[in-house]
Structure 1
Amino acid sequence: MANQLHPNVEALRKAGATRVKVAASDIDGILRGKYLHIDKFESASTGGFGFCDVVFGWDSQDTTYDNTSVTGWQHGFPDALARIDPDTARRVPWDDQVPFFLGEFVNADGSPYPVCPRQTLKRVLARAEKLGFEVMTGFEFEWFNFRETPQSWAAKRGVGPEPLSPGMFGYSVLRMADNPGFFKALMDEMEAFRVPIEGLHTETGPGVLEVAIAFSSALEQADRAILFKTGAREIGKRFGIMPSFMAKWSQQYPGCSGHIHQSLSDGKDNLFFGAEGRRGMSPLFESYVAGQVACLMEFAPLFWPTINSYKRLVDGFWAPVKPTWGIDNRTASFRVLAGSPRSTRLETRCPGADVNPYLAMAAVVAAGLHGVEQGLSLTTPPVTGTNQGAEAVARAPRTLIETTRAFRESAVARDWLGDTFVDHFAATREWEWRQWLDAVTDWELKRYFEII
């Protein structure tokens, strides 16, 4: 029956649940959601529920765009139809075990809402499936942590956050001992939240951590990634800790990455493994890497979506700044790990921690599969050492507006993501750039206020 409740939904009534938490991603990768009474949730689980489409019509500060056509004041910000995905059922350990579901947006006829990030990724994965591939992925995030609350941070007016720990101390067992409760909560409560963590450690920088989320299918991994970013912030509140996934909060420290590991499977075997291939890579793997090398700059705003993203792209600070590939080389944008049938994979190292996981995932998969569809070859040798062999390769642009213009004109992006999405996302990035142009920064005041 069309209106029959999904078992995951039916179980809530039997368990005595009275409220359910639901959320969906906006364009910036911020979860927007609400609590629903169990009666409303049961109805919504079969027919969807109304959710104001302003979530795609405003920026991260809730200021409405003036340059978008899909949504805007000209349409009156009506409700869009949010559809709950019952397979995302989980409970929130740090919120009294409240049931939680992720959702996505659809049109009135049930077709995918064209600018919904989760739907955008699903469109790419559906095309991958038609090609005969299951996409397997894993996210890694670096992020800084501070002894701040929203109130203390507001009182400081955005200046001088107090790091969780001092100094540059990567892989430190000693620093982990300083905050055992926070580490334990991240490991144990994320596991209970269906976001299993493979590894968690300190990184180089005061108060910075790195997490590796357990490998899974691509949609499940993107769900885990967006839930990790939100969950880490919510868990941190209990310990007086404010996590920040900003790409680069200080000029003097390395930035924060959002590396994406990938492989393609036919449901049984890792198709990237090639025992007889060059460097242990199958021809399919080579074409996939070649696609990402060729298309990096066309998809760049999905990897570097904010003004701040480009402050991370500086030489000598670990973040790759050129579309290069290498064999187990962390200075390259595309790190090829060619080993056993189980472990062979690609690590795309250029995205920052500030990505929308759905969109960054859609971009890497689309670029790689473009290479497969077109039969692209790796025409340059792998870089060695500190990007040796990449001297003639152009570096990435240093501003959001430059990459946004390339994205808007990209035929590959339009082919894989759709014209409506490309036009809308480009408009939102142009808006972000204009907000930056109008801002008077502390750098300008320090540099010009007295002297000029």
Structure 2
Amino acid sequence: MNKQQILSYLKEKGIDKVKFAFADIDGVLRGKVIHHKKFADGLESGYGFCDVVFGWDSSDVCNENIKLTGWHTGYPDQLCRIDLSTFRTIPWQDDIPFFLADFSKADGNDLPACPRSLLKRIAKECESMGFHPEFAQEFEWFNFRETPQSLQEKSFTNLESLTPGMFGYSILRTSENGDFYYDLFDLLMKFNVPVEGLHAETGPGVYEAAILHDHVLEAADRAVLLKTAVKEIAYKHGIMASFMAKWNEKLPGCGGHVHQSLWNKDNSENLFYDANDANKMSETHKQYLAGQLYCLPHILPMYAPTINSYKRLVEGAWAPTTITWAVENRTTAFRVINTSPAYTRLETRIPGSDTNPYLAMAAALASGLYGIKNKLSLNIPATSGNGYHDDKNGKISANLFDAANIMKESKVAKELFGDDFVEHFVQTRLWECKQFAKSVTDWELKRYFEII
């Protein structure tokens, strides 16, 4: 609906409040509920929002490393703008109208820290090259019979999983909590986050949801909304959902794989498919994949943004550790799927469920376009067999500190995303490392408290 249609809708329904939110650098949704008059008044000029939301971390601790904002700027308001095309209602909150916003400006001078604005810019570049970017993200997450209060009381230990045992793809396990399970599918659909498939994954209380594919911006919007929506729906059932990449060293991690393909402008032909190629891959597909392989070391923190991300990227844990690709191989960093012309695509398997979808998709699309623009050859052979043992093209950085410092110095990253974004984003990742470095962990207490 356009502006006038939305305002008429609010008036006809007697709606007096509207909810909106935007994603911060970590992919956390920050927002407000506002009066319908404030909503109408701000549609042209925007809405002031304290830019501390881009100056603190996911725990609301002010980041002292960044230039964008801080005590030195006085934490002023920045104008965010609601995207009317994102209109939907929240079915588990009395159908309150909801919108996504970002910090885009008409003159193109976007706030460098705004993830959605960055993805919009990359998508626009893709379209200017004659492509339609079709994307989707899938998520795995653990569910617990806990509350925010019980987590604090237990100090995040001895948590009760929703169900015991591994039970991957089990029909039985999901029926045990059928009200929650079907609420997820049905309410997400009503929220315009259509789920292609929902099932139990291996691990106690683990679910996996694949979202229906769409244009990259809509795909990222849906992915961001799914994570918060799942948590809110879980709350209503006395359940907590966690999208940590790896919450327990003895259990599998949680993936957030990104699926993608490029189509012609009217979205009628998949430009990744070539029936005459041995792997059914067009030259465009090969160049796109070559770009992702080449750029991966330069932009890894956009796929693996937290300290915890790298606990998932270990051998034998259904997550990649090497810079590799193959057709239908889940041990490699990039998996080519070529089952049919309509569904031929590339799966980027590095991202975990802890990723910011806007940044993960921006990284995938920008690096793929880099390969096309530079006509890169796919000179890395497809891996045969176990990708964990195929390290001839290099390994994925083992920790956030190393990955962030590589990105900090990378000319490739700055070419893809601009100096301002890279500087800000890298500093937020190094801040994360700094906060972790000063923390005393349970592992240290158990190892050193008595014996040393």
TM-score, normalised by the number of residues in structure 2: 0.97
Indicate the residue corresponding to 1:93 in structure 2.
91
Task: Report the alpha carbon displacement of residue 380 of structure 1 after superposing the two structures with TM.
Answer: 2.0
1:250 to 239, 243, 248: 248
Letter in 1 for 2:25: I
Does the CA-based 8 Å contact 2:301-2:403 persist in structure 1? yes
1:398 maps to: 398
Partner residue in 2 for 1:140? 138
Bigger mean CA deviation after superposition, 38-47 or 384-393: 384-393
- Superposed, which structure 2 residues align to 1:241-390 within 5 Å? 241-266=239-264, 267=266, 268-387=268-387, 390=390
Q: What is the match of residue 49 of structure 1?
A: 47
Q: Any conservation in 2 of the 1:148–1:161 contact (CA below 8 Å)?
A: yes
Over the aligned positions, Cα root-mean-square deviation in angstroms equals 1.3
Q: Is the 1:325–1:382 contact (alpha carbons within 8 Å) kept by the matching residues of 2?
A: yes
Give the Cα separation in 2 of the matches to 1:5 and 1:295: 40
Q: Residue 117 of structure 1 aligns to which amino acid in structure 2?
A: P
Unaligned runs of 5+ in 2: none
Q: For residues 113 and 6 of structure 1, do their structure 2 counterparts lie closer, same or farther at Cα, with a shift above 3 Å needed?
A: farther
Task: State the AA in 2 paired with 1:16.
Answer: G
Alignment check: 8 A CA contact 2:132 2:215 kept: yes
Q: What SS class does the counterpart of residue 157 from structure 1 fall into? A: coil
Deviations 1:421-441, CA, capped at 9 Å, x for gaps: 000000000100000110000
What is residue 39 of structure 1 aligned with on the other side? 37
Structure 1 distance, partners of 2:65, 2:127, is 35
**Aligned partners of 2:90 and 2:98 also within 8 Å:** yes
User: What SS does structure 2 have at the residue aligned with 1:332?
Assistant: coil
Deviation, 1:388, is 7.4
Q: Distance in 1 between matches of 2:331 and 2:359?
A: 23
| 1:207-233 Cα deviation digits (max 9, x unpaired) | 111100001110000000000000000
2:92 is paired with a residue of what secondary structure? coil
Contact 2:301 2:404 in 1 (8 A): yes
Match of 2:81 among 80, 83, 92: 83
Equivalent of residue 101 in structure 2, options 95, 100, 103: 103
Q: Which residue of 2 aligns with 1:444?
A: 444
In the alignment, structure 1 segments of 5+ residues that lack a partner are none
Whole-angstrom distance in 1 between the partners of 2:244 and 2:391: 29
- What is residue 162 of structure 2 aligned with on the other side? 164
Change (3 A) 1:436 1:121: same
SS at match of 2:110: coil
Q: Percent identity?
A: 51
Give SS of 1:274's match. coil
Range moving further from structure 2, 228-237 or 395-404: 395-404
User: What amino acid does structure 1 have at the position aligned with 2:372?
Assistant: V
2: CA distance, partners of 1:110 / 1:407: 24
User: Equivalent residue for 1:112?
Assistant: 110
Q: Deviations over 1:254-282 (max 9, x none)?
A: 10000010000112210001112241100
* Aligned AA (1:309): S
User: In the alignment, residue 36 of structure 1 is paired with which amino acid?
Assistant: I
What does the per-residue CA deviation read over 1:342-400, in whole Å, with 9 as the maximum and x for residues that have no partner? 01100111111000000000000011110111111111221122227724232212110
1:339 Cα deviation from its structure 2 partner: 3.1
Contact 1:28/1:60 (CA < 8 Å) preserved in 2? Answer: yes
Contact 1:80–1:106 (CA<8 Å) still a contact in 2?
A: no
Equivalences for residues 112-261 of structure 1 within 5 A: 112-261=110-259
The answer on whether the counterparts of 2:19 and 2:99 sit within 8 Å (CA) in structure 1 is yes
Provide the rounded CA distance (Å) in 1 between the counterparts of 2:343 and 2:384: 21
Change (3 A) 1:37 1:231: same
Asked if 2 retains the 8 angstrom alpha-carbon contact of 1:20 and 1:99, the reply is yes
> 57-66 or 4-13, which moves further after superposition?
4-13
Q: Which amino acid aligns with 1:26?
A: D
Give the letter for the 2:142 counterpart.
F
Q: Does the residue aligned with 2:387 lie in a helix, a strand or coil?
A: coil
Letter in 1 for 2:369: L
Structure 1 stretches (4+) deviating beyond 6 angstroms? none
CA distance in 2, matches of 1:161, 1:302: 30
1:443, 1:79 → 2: CA distance? Answer: 41
Instruction: Report the Cα distance in structure 1 between the residues aligned to 2:389 and 2:284, rounded to whole angstroms.
Output: 24
In 1, the alpha carbon distance for the partners of 2:293 and 2:108 equals: 36
Query: How far did residue 108 of structure 1 move?
Result: 9.1
Q: TM-score, normalised by structure 1?
A: 0.97
Deviations 1:110-135 (A, max 9, x none): 73222100001011111111111110
Provide the rounded CA distance (Å) in 2 between the counterparts of 1:424 and 1:238.
37
**Which amino acid counterpart does residue 53 of structure 2 have in structure 1?**
V
Q: Look up the SS of the partner of 2:192 in the other structure.
A: coil
Amino acid at match of 1:70: L
**Cα distance in structure 1, aligned partners of 2:107 and 2:334:** 40
Matched residue SS, 2:335:
strand
**Amino acid corresponding to residue 123 of structure 1 in structure 2:** R
Given that 1:383 and 1:389 are in contact with CA atoms closer than 8 Å, whether structure 2 keeps it comes out as no
